[in-house]
Structure 1
């Protein structure tokens, strides 16, 4: 084991640092907002640490550490500013690929939740990280946040421990296709409303910002509400996995804004079918979102992937995609049905477990392989 003194490097001093996920571009410090956001290094040396600064009021961030693309540790990060050891005692001459991944989604429900990385310290040297040939963006809800992908089937608590960016169809799909990926997701949210009919809890309204669905002065200061720099990272494929919560809203009570008295409700007919004028509002919202996605992702193939928790909204999604294609003449849009969970593949909180995510990733990667540009 090397006894070489560890040197501290602010992130901004590391030439060969790779950042994954939407950020403001600021490295002093770097804020990781979304699930699956990460920092990646290629490093020689026997030891490596990162300096984190963590805050939260209710929901603590979790991270996974991968060395040479294999997860080796997963941990809760408590509040404060401190050093976390990623590895010690390794062969100082061997090149290690190291990735630190945020396992928890951006937390709309906790304006105090933040994860920042200030610096690293090591006895080694940093070397270039090779770019992967493809880029994928995944937009979704709790499924894409990996809620319930980890933990026993009996777990019912809504806590960060049961969220996973690693046991997640998006990450597994990207691994199969040798692609970089980004995730934009929020549990309970939809295209038009959240599961409880709140029309403000929809992903499309916040898509153009770095992490617009966050709240509070702290996140304002961190740059969450800045315009995202789309030119800096253009995906080959955008996967939209939304609609599950919009479907759920038909079966939950109306949402009411206590301050204004405003109410919203997606309604069923007496026979249990969706009321036509309400499902049409959903379809228009989906169509509008596709228009917005095309505006910011000029060359990407847009794939609406849906079905892991059933397919009640599939006809409406197909109609919305058809309407968009007819209106815009855009042929790089399609719908893909994901495999539905079973008793064997369900995870915690009645959400897809790791086996369900693996099934979905295998199917989706096979489909995307056929539409990726040849490189």
Structure 2
């Protein structure tokens, strides 16, 4: 017999990503936000509420570390089966993740988890080995991770939160991670030069880049409580859009230094890796110099610049963005770099 559980009634539930703190329901704003649980059952379902005007949300279902479903979510309330007809005596780890990023241009965008239905029992989760925060643009949002190589349409389908360097690295490291990323945005400006489309402006909010009265009421514009999630490592992968959005490298460099200061105030103990290079390295000298200037001026040695491998022919996904092989190469470099620094990190 299936039993219904409100999200607040589920023991050992782990919330993934920045949320407004409410379990009635759990509202998912960012790429790779979601829930994780261990369950011993033959089947399990999640009730979801969705809304949108243009860009429908997608979700990923991951069972024991393997992607089992990738689904477009329709408007309204519906139940999604995470698995069924399974052997009862095995404990399975299940994640349900938001596959798509936040959509500032769609004020109706909404994805909420309402309840879980299962015939089994919930069990404790393993303590993660590491806490990561990954900050970026379309690359970190997984743009290009789905669709044919020649596909250039920009829509919800082209994103992929799992075939993605952030997810790959976190999985290899046994980490939980928060993702703060938005397509087309940079550290100083967007790819079109819009200085209001810069991640640092909204970093201290839950998901302040969203628009609309409903998102405001849901707390997207509220201050984020950094005590809820203090990352051991922060990976910043910004600069790709700034390279096409402006020729003023002095302002880009200043934006990097200012953002590093903000990151340090909000996350006093985190080791910060500023990464760049998956889609060319046009402004690498500017970024690397800015990181060095910040370290020299502040004496903060828990910051490092990391050159990422460029995406080569045959490694692209859709929309001329990095594909699986490119994300895999970057994940490998980040895992090796983070493992090198493990002795400097705070034990979870």
TM-score by length of 1: 0.90
Aligned-pair distance for 1:322?
A: 1.4
The answer to whether the aligner puts 1:196 opposite 2:192 as a matched pair is yes
CA contact (8 A) 1:45 1:124 kept: yes
CA contact (8 A) 2:38 2:92 kept: yes
CA contact (8 A) 2:152 2:319 kept: yes
Find the counterpart in structure 2 of residue 365 from structure 1.
335
Aligned-pair distance for 1:144?
A: 0.3
Aligned-pair distance for 1:8?
A: 0.6
Structure 1 runs of 4+ aligned residues shifted over 3 Å read: none
Once the two structures are superposed, the pairs formed by residues 55-66 of structure 1 within 5 Å of their partners are: 55-66=51-62
Find the counterpart in structure 2 of residue 208 from structure 1.
204
CA contact (8 A) 2:129 2:173 kept: no
CA contact (8 A) 1:238 1:302 kept: yes
Find the counterpart in structure 2 of residue 101 from structure 1.
97
* RMSD, matched Cα: 1.0
CA contact (8 A) 1:236 1:372 kept: no
Aligned-pair distance for 1:38?
A: 1.6
Moved more, 331-340 or 86-95: 86-95
For structure 2, list consecutive stretches of 5 or more residues without a partner in the other structure: none
The answer to whether the aligner puts 1:178 opposite 2:148 as a matched pair is no
**Residues 232-261 of structure 1 deviation map (CA, whole Å, 9 limit, x = unaligned):** 211111011000000011xxxxxxxxxxxx
CA contact (8 A) 1:150 1:354 kept: no
The answer to whether the aligner puts 1:240 opposite 2:236 as a matched pair is yes
**Residues 288-343 of structure 1 deviation map (CA, whole Å, 9 limit, x = unaligned):** 00000000110011110100001111100011111111111100111001110011
Find the counterpart in structure 1 of residue 8 from structure 2.
12
Find the counterpart in structure 1 of residue 265 from structure 2.
295
The answer to whether the aligner puts 1:330 opposite 2:326 as a matched pair is no
Q: Measure, in 1, the Cα distance between the counterparts of 2:128 and 2:222.
A: 27
CA contact (8 A) 1:136 1:236 kept: yes
Q: Measure, in 1, the Cα distance between the counterparts of 2:126 and 2:212.
A: 37
**Residues 322-368 of structure 1 deviation map (CA, whole Å, 9 limit, x = unaligned):** 11111111001110011100111111000000111011101111111
Once the two structures are superposed, the pairs formed by residues 235-314 of structure 1 within 5 Å of their partners are: 235-249=231-245, 266-267=246-247, 278-314=248-284
Q: Measure, in 1, the Cα distance between the counterparts of 2:251 and 2:174.
A: 38
1:39 corresponds, among 20, 35, 39, to: 35
Q: Measure, in 1, the Cα distance between the counterparts of 2:327 and 2:198.
A: 23
**Residues 272-294 of structure 1 deviation map (CA, whole Å, 9 limit, x = unaligned):** xxxxxx21111111100000000
Aligned length: 345
Find the counterpart in structure 1 of residue 82 from structure 2.
86
Aligned-pair distance for 1:372?
A: 2.1
Moved more, 125-134 or 333-342: 125-134
Aligned-pair distance for 1:109?
A: 1.8
Secondary structure (helix, strand or coil) at the match of 1:287 reads helix
Aligned-pair distance for 1:133?
A: 1.4
Once the two structures are superposed, the pairs formed by residues 334-353 of structure 1 within 5 Å of their partners are: 334-353=304-323
Secondary structure (helix, strand or coil) at the match of 1:116 reads strand
Find the counterpart in structure 2 of residue 263 from structure 1.
none
The answer to whether the aligner puts 1:124 opposite 2:94 as a matched pair is no
Find the counterpart in structure 1 of residue 131 from structure 2.
135
